Amino acid sequence: MLAHAFRVGESLLVLILVACLLPLLGWGGWAIALTAFLAAVLWFLRPYLWARLEVLIEWVFG
């Protein structure tokens, strides 16, 4: 479990660094940076979002 947390943390760190460095290097501008940042945020929030989706499905379909 701890090893998985480290791998996820490293992945998030890499995505955030890429999101910050690409505009500075002039590669793709803010569109790529924003996409990488949003991917990192959504990956981090994935368990919470999945739980909310399950509650919504249960509420809709009873």
Residue 4's identity, in one-letter code, is: H
Which residue blocks in 1-62 are alpha helix, DSSP H? 2-25, 29-61
pLDDT per residue rounded down to tens, the chain (62 residues): 455 555 666 667 777 777 777 667 666 667 777 777 777 787 778 888 788 888 888 888 87
Structural domain total, the chain? 1
**Greatest pairwise CA separation for the chain in angstroms:** 51
Distance in angstroms (rounded) separating the CA atoms of residues 57 and 50: 10
pLDDT for residue 5: 54
- Total-model pTM: 0.43
Q: Which domain holds residue 29?
A: 2-61
pLDDT for residue 17: 73
Strand, coil or helix: 19: helix
